[in-house]
């Protein structure tokens, strides 16, 4: 049975929503996503206000959904589920912790009492900066649902909104980045960039590195060695590049380099297109040891001497190890004169040897699948 609210204010509001949405449909030919999201934002604000100021009851959203779907039966965005998401979306960006962050940012040199925070906070509700709202309206609605469902704070959500715009992430990639904790990991590597690179380059380089790196797309034996890890990463190079981040171009593995009369091989060599420099990556199965930094420094110097061309910035080294002592790592980098970062990597799907040996291979699964299909075709 269709719910009914006899309040004329409600009927007038439905009429206003109908007119507003019809106007939105006209503009949508040019700016479909932005105009729809602006409408959703205003609808969310209206819903919150109506719930605070009227006594329309707990079934208010159900009737709203029913009425809008009756007026616009071809539109899928007015289901009760989506109406709830619209309300949650608006409330997410007006949550109390955001207000307090805005208060602190606006009054950095003043001590503000709790009562003042509440008073100022009430004035700030719904007053997100226009430039931030414009960013919100630039990504698809499905991305927003993923963000508000998985993020806890506005800074975290803003990070994923901005990076979706910058890198063109699909919803699948966005969800992967959120679930892997990219916001918490990016820019956290221990490095000496501030001492070895000029300010703009050092800041960007630091932001490019994560700690830890998460290689949860690998299934490794418990006693894997560094070469097996390297091969697995190369076999999954697309996912490896996604984890490294934007701008990494793969140049090769076990890249030969000759110094004096000796030949050496670098684990992994990349070129970072945003930093305009080579990045030498070394993999260590063990915990970080100070001597690892010295060898990495040697390789960086060799790449600078033999690979770096005019226009390239100084080569950067990245050491990925099983674990590290932060103080030891900082000590080890303090006197290194080449730019270097140290991060951990996590393998979340390591299998014991005896278990892995008992599992079917990809070929076994494909063969069985082919047999099943052949059997079905013969029936």
CATH of the domain at 341: 3.40.1350.10
Residue 161, in any domain of the structure: no
Rounded to an integer, the average pLDDT of 109-138 is: 57
For the full predicted model, state whether its pTM sits above 0.85: no
- The residue among 68, 92, 116 that closes a domain is 92
Interval 245-280: pLDDT, tens? 999 999 999 999 999 999 999 999 999 999 999 999
How many helices (H) does the chain have, and how many strands (E)? 18, 7
Number of structural domains, the chain? 2
Query: What pLDDT is stored for residue 108 in this prediction?
Result: 44
d(CA 349, CA 336): 34
Q: Calculate the alpha carbon distances from 17 to 52, 68, 86, 161, 201 in Å.
A: 18, 8, 14, 27, 50
The verdict on residue 365 lying in a domain is no
To which H or E segment does residue 341 belong?
A: strand 340-346
Statement: residue 65 has pLDDT above 60:
yes
1 in a structural domain: no
Domain contains 120: no
Query: pLDDT grade, residue 356 (50/70/90)?
Result: very low
Whether 372 is covered by a domain: the verdict is: no
What pLDDT is stored for residue 377 in this prediction?
Answer: 54
Q: What angle do CA 251, 257, 260 make, to 5 degrees?
A: 165
Kind and range of the H or E element at 203? helix 199-208
The residue among 126 and 127 whose pLDDT is bigger is 127
Give the confidence band of 212 by pLDDT, cuts at 50, 70, 90.
very high
Q: 16 falls in which pLDDT band (50, 70, 90)?
A: confident
Q: Tell me: do 201 and 344 sit in the same domain.
A: yes
301, part of any domain: yes
Assess whether 81 and 202 both reside in one domain.
no
Q: Is residue 378 included in any domain, yes or no?
A: no
213 shares its domain with 337: yes
Give me the domain span that covers residue 257.
190-354
């Amino acid at each position: 049975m269709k719910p009914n609210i006899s309040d004329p204010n409600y009927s007038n509001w439905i009429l206003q929503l109908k007119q507003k949405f019809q106007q939105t449909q006209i503009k949508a030919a040019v700016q479909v996503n932005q105009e729809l999201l602006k409408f959703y934002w205003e609808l969310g604000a209206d819903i919150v206000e109506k719930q605070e100021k009227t006594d329309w009851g707990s079934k208010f959203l159900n009737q709203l959904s029913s009425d809008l779907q009756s007026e616009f039966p071809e539109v899928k965005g007015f289901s009760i589920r989506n109406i709830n998401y619209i309300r949650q979306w608006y409330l997410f960006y007006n949550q109390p912790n955001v207000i307090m962050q805005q208060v602190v940012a606006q009054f950095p040199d003043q001590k503000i009492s709790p009562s003042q925070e509440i008073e100022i906070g009430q004035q700030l509700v719904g007053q997100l900066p226009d430039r931030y709202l414009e960013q919100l309206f630039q990504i698809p609605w499905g991305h927003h649902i993923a963000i508000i469902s998985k993020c806890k704070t506005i800074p975290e959500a803003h990070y994923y909104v901005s990076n979706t715009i910058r890198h063109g992430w699909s919803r699948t990639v966005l969800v992967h980045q959120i679930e892997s904790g990219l916001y918490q990991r990016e820019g956290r590597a221990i490095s000496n960039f501030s001492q070895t690179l000029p300010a703009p380059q050092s800041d960007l380089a630091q932001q490019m590195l994560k700690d830890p790196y998460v290689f949860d797309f690998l299934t490794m034996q418990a006693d894997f060695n560094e070469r097996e890890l390297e091969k697995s990463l190369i076999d999954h190079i697309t996912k490896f590049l996604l984890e490294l981040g934007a701008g990494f171009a793969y140049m090769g593995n076990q890249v030969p380099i000759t110094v004096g009369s000796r030949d050496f091989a670098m684990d992994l060599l990349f070129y970072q297109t945003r930093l305009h420099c080579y990045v030498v990556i070394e993999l260590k199965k063990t915990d970080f040891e100070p001597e690892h930094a010295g060898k990495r420094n040697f390789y960086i110097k060799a790449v600078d001497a033999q690979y770096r061309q005019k226009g390239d910035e100084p080569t950067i080294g990245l050491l990925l190890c099983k674990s590290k002592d932060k103080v030891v790592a900082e000590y080890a980098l303090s006197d290194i004169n080449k730019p270097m970062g140290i991060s951990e990597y996590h393998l979340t799907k390591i299998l014991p040897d005896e278990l892995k040996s008992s599992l079917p291979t990809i070929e076994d699964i494909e063969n069985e699948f082919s047999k099943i299909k052949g059997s079905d075709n013969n029936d």
